[in-house]
């Protein structure tokens, strides 16, 4: 195995802040030597076995002072994440403690790692391919179990294997076409007729389209839905926010216009990650502060993936309500008629007419009625057939989607008027273009260590 030669890098691998334990990770050919210069234990780290952990102390080499009491893990390459020698120093989680140990490591010759550099080395050393490398950050940022399962599947190579299989099918078709063109006298070669060629090409194209059909759901699981809660003042927007996040995040009073600014919170709704945005009530106002809040609400509305429009069951529709229906035209929206525990003065028929085919939910947030129906409506709006199992591959990365669309072979099939021989040559050229154009390499590329 050929491995690229890099300097030794180090970084704090745990989140900043106080905690029980913090970890400093080193990776590179000098990782064990550098750690040995500041470590004191029963044995030097160079003499211990690989993939073992050892108790000891960190010493400042210049003063001989004990800096920390640690557990040190030693992992020799290539059986590590980066395929290099890796050392992890487990110390106490105080800010001063972990930074002091890191500084000692850097003083001994390690370089501070750039963001994502450990994963970059894993990719460049052939440990993971590009789509798996991208999935590392997706896994870290996952906000729901479903999103984590999708990222984990991609890290395990599920998407890479699927794309690699498609590429192999293209290569087999291409090889058969070339054999038929160059060696027509061979009787044992599969006769690649125009019909068979089109059938195989259509099969690849169909499988790409099936993968692309998961793009919308995949991006939602990966990035979440920006969800704007809008409505007139005092219709229950902040109460809805509190009900969905299960805590008193927003101030709720009977005074209209209580919310003056935008409040954001992430929430998991039946496996769908939502970035909820509680906005100021949209209305004409002379209050300067409230006017700024209303303007921000309009900006949030324009950028939203999903709109939750609240109406008051206890009041008739107003011109401001109708204007809100106008503002959400062409957008994904759910209409919520709140305060169903009060007198019903709102015309539901008129609301249904304005809502068109959008979901309409009746709630009483004071009594927590209708919240389950709302959550189901949100999930069904974007996952009509439910969220697929973790065994199935999703494509969620914008780069992956663009490459798959580019290589969907839309122009693969010839016009019926073209003669069969010419059709075979035309398809052969396009298959060659798809393969040479790296149908899969940029998506599931494995970097050659010698490159």
Q: Residue 363's domain is classified under what CATH number? A: 3.40.50.300
Identify whether residues 255 and 325 lie together within a single domain.
Answer: yes
In a domain, 171, yes or no: yes
Count CB atoms within 10 A of the CB of residue 447: 18
- Do residues 334 and 278 both lie within one domain? yes
Domain co-membership, 210 together with 351: no
- Domain for residue 148, yes or no? no
Indicate if 248 and 296 belong to the same structural domain. yes
195-206 pLDDT tens trace: 777 787 788 888
| Domain stops at, among 354, 382, 410 | 382
Among 127, 118, 161, smallest CA distance to 444 is for 161
Residue 177 to residue 196: CA distance in whole angstroms? 11
pLDDT for the residue numbered 34: 97
Q: Does residue 188 share a domain with residue 241?
A: no
Q: Are 362 and 353 in contact (CB under 8 A)?
A: no
Last residue in a domain, options 101, 125, 149 = 125
Nearest 5°: the CA angle 221, 226, 230 is 145
The tokens for 317 are: 């529709």
What does pTM read for this prediction? 0.62
Highest mean pLDDT among 173-182, 273-282, 358-367: 358-367
Classify the C-alpha dihedral 250-251-254-260 as positive or negative.
negative
- Residue 51 neighbours by CB under 8 Å, 6+ apart: 73, 74, 75, 76, 79
340 & 266 share domain: yes
* pLDDT recorded at residue 440: 44
CATH number at residue 82: 3.30.1360.120
Both tokens of 76, joined, read 């020799």
- Does residue 419 form part of some domain? yes
pLDDT at 447 over 50: no
Average pLDDT score over residue span 248-265: 56
The total number of structural domains in the chain stands at: 3
Asked if 232 and 358 sit in the same domain, the reply is: yes
Please check whether residue 151 lies inside any domain of the structure. no
Per mean pLDDT, which range of 98-102, 210-214, 341-345, 364-368 is the poorest? 210-214
Structure tokens at 349: 């028929």
Question: Which range in 101-110, 114-123, 235-244, 260-269 is most confidently predicted, on average pLDDT?
Answer: 101-110
196 in a domain, yes or no?
yes
Left (φ > 0), alpha (ψ -120 to 50) or beta: where does 24 sit? beta
Confidence of residue 241 (pLDDT cuts 50, 70, 90): confident
Is the pLDDT assigned to residue 412 strictly greater than 50? no
* pLDDT tens by residue, 82-134: 999 999 999 999 889 999 999 999 999 999 999 999 999 998 998 888 888 88
In a domain, 275, yes or no: yes
Answer for the pair 448, 3: CB distance below 8 angstroms, yes or no.
no
Average pLDDT on 158-184 reads 78
Is 191 a member of any domain? yes
What integer pLDDT is reported at residue 131 of this predicted model? 81
Domain boundary among 125, 140, 174: 125
Is 107 part of any domain?
yes
The most distant pair of C-alpha atoms in the chain lies apart, rounded to whole Å, by: 89
pLDDT band at 52 (very low <50, low <70, confident <90, very high): very high
Q: Is the same domain home to 244 and 350?
A: yes
Q: Answer yes or no: do 346 and 410 share one domain.
A: no
- What's the full length of the chain, in residues? 451
Token pair recorded at residue 77: 């390459």
**Overall average pLDDT of the 135-149 stretch:** 78
In terms of domains, do 91 and 186 share one?
Answer: no
User: How many other C-beta atoms lie within 10 A of the C-beta of residue 413?
Assistant: 17
What pLDDT is recorded for position 129? 83
Cα torsion at 188, 192, 193, 194 (round to 10°)?
Answer: -170
Candidate ranges 285-289, 294-298, 339-343; pick with highest mean pLDDT: 339-343
Q: Are residues 332 and 401 in the same domain?
A: no
Same-domain pairing of 375 and 419? no
* Res 232: pLDDT: 85
Domain that holds residue 271: 223-382
Q: Residue 443's pLDDT is what?
A: 45
Under the banding of pLDDT at 50, 70 and 90, the label for residue 5 is low
More confident residue, 292 or 91: 91
For residue 178, give the nearest of 409, 423, 424, 415 by alpha carbon: 424
Which is nearest to 251 in space by CA: 280, 276, 225, 272?
Answer: 280
Residue 390 pLDDT: 47
Contacts of 41 (CB under 8 A, 6+ apart): 54, 55, 56, 57, 72
User: What are the backbone dihedrals phi and psi of residue 131, each rounded to the nearest 5 degrees, phi first?
Assistant: -65, -35
Cis bond before residue 287 (omega within 30° of 0)? no
- Give the per-residue pLDDT at 408: 54
Find, among 106, 133, 101, the residue nearest to 23 by Cα: 101
Rounded Cα distance between 254 and 405, Å, is 51
Q: What percent of the chain has pLDDT above 90?
A: 29
pLDDT value of residue 411? 45
Residue range 248-275: average pLDDT? 66
């Amino acid at each position: 195995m050929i491995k690229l030669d890099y300097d030794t890098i180090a970084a704090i691998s745990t989140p900043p802040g106080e905690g029980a334990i913090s970890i400093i990770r080193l990776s590179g050919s000098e990782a064990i030597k550098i750690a040995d210069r500041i470590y004191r234990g029963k044995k030097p780290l160079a003499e211990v076995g690989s993939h073992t952990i050892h108790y000891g102390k960190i010493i400042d080499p210049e003063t001989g002072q004990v800096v920390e009491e640690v557990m040190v893990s030693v992992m020799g390459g290539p059986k590590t994440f980066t395929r290099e020698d890796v050392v992890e120093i487990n110390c106490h989680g105080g800010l001063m403690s972990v930074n002091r140990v890191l500084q000692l490591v850097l003083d001994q010759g390690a370089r501070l790692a750039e963001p994502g550099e450990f994963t970059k080395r894993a990719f460049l050393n052939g440990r993971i391919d590009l789509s798996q490398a991208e999935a590392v950050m997706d896994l870290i940022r996952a906000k729901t179990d479903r999103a984590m399962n999708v990222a984990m599947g991609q890290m395990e190579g599920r998407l890479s294997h699927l794309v690699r299989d498609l590429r192999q099918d293209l290569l087999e078709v291409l090889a058969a076409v070339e054999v038929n063109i160059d060696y027509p006298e061979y009787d044992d070669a599969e006769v690649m007729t125009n019909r068979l060629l089109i059938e195989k090409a259509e099969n690849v194209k169909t499988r790409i389209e099936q993968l692309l059909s998961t793009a919308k759901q995949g991006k939602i699981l990966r990035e979440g839905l920006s969800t704007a809660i809008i409505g007139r003042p005092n219709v229950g927007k902040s109460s809805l926010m509190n009900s969905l996040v299960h805590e008193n995040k927003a101030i709720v009073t009977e005074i209209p216009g209580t919310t003056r600014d935008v409040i954001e919170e992430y929430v998991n709704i039946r496996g769908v990650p939502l970035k909820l945005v509680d906005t100021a009530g949209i209305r004409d106002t002379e209050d300067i502060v409230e006017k700024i809040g209303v303007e921000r609400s309009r900006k949030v509305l324009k950028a939203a993936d999903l709109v939750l429009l609240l109406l008051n069951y206890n009041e008739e529709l107003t011109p401001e309500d109708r204007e809100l229906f106008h503002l959400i035209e062409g957008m994904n929206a759910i209409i919520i008629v709140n305060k169903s525990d009060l007198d019903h003065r709102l015309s539901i028929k008129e609301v249904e007419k304005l809502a068109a085919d959008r979901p309409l939910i009746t709630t009483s947030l004071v009594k927590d009625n209708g919240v389950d129906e709302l959550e189901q409506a949100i999930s069904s709006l974007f996952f009509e057939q439910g969220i697929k199992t973790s065994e199935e591959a999703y494509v969620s990365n914008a780069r992956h989607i663009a490459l798959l669309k580019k290589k969907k072979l839309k122009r693969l099939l010839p016009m019926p008027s073209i003669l069969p021989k010419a059709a075979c040559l035309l398809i052969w050229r396009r298959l060659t273009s798809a393969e040479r154009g790296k149908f899969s390499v940029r998506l599931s590329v494995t970097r050659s260590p010698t490159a």
